[in-house]
Amino acid sequence: MQPEIGLTNAPFNTKFAPLAALGWRLLQDGTLQTFEKVTWEAEKSEFSLATKLLQVLGSILANCEYLCEVNSQLRSETELARAWGFERYLEQSSLASCLNRLTRMNLDELEQVSQTIWRSLSRSRSHDWRGFLYVELDLSGLPCGKSAEESQKGYFSGKKTLPDAS
């Protein structure tokens, strides 16, 4: 499948177009095949363990805070599923039971898969370490506006910074 991204009124639109593009790209370059390294005893299932783990990963990237949100947010997203290499999203109960069955060995394999993917995609590995790597952190504790996305009142120990301080 060669995805085509654009504006359309067709019935197969997805609100997850960037995630579909990412999934398709990771599928094409073989990154997602690293999930095949996680193994367990054969189970009578239409979907492999790797597919179920990819669906869990996709749900995380689709901003599903809980696995139960897969049913309401992703089950109808067939184009998103196809971009990630599977026919459809499973029900959340199937994904949850898959995660419950993972052994310590499976978790170790999954950690290796995660490190493999991180190493292949991380820009820090190609950074010229003779120079500085700038990381910006805001620990000032200055108040943010009420309309700031997911803003919450936090706690900062020690001296308070006045809002008009420079």
Report CA 156 to chain centroid distance, whole Å. Answer: 30
What's the number of domains the chain is made of? 1
**CA–CA distance, 87 with 89 (Å, rounded to integer):** 7
What's the token pair of residue 65? 């805070």
Residue 122: its pLDDT value, please? 80
Q: How confident is the model at residue 136 (pLDDT cuts 50, 70, 90)?
A: low
Mean pLDDT, to the nearest integer, of 62-84?
Answer: 89
Assigned domain for 1 exists: no
The residue among 130, 153, 134, 133 whose CA lies nearest residue 143 is: 153
Which has more confidence, 115 or 122?
115
R_g over Cα of the chain: 21
What's the token pair of residue 145? 């506006």
Assigned domain for 159 exists: no
Q: For residue 140, what is the DSSP state? A: S
Assigned domain for 153 exists: no
Assigned domain for 148 exists: no
Assigned domain for 166 exists: no
Domain encompassing residue 29: 17-126
Mean pLDDT, to the nearest integer, of 41-47?
Answer: 72
Q: What is the reported pTM?
A: 0.68
Mean pLDDT, to the nearest integer, of 51-60?
Answer: 91
- CB-based contact 99:56 (threshold 8 Å): yes
Residue with tokens 């000032």: 140
Assigned domain for 101 exists: yes
Q: How confident is the model at residue 107 (pLDDT cuts 50, 70, 90)?
A: very high
pLDDT at 111 over 90: yes
Nearest-10 crossing angle of helices 49-61, 92-100: 110
Assigned domain for 52 exists: yes
Assigned domain for 99 exists: yes
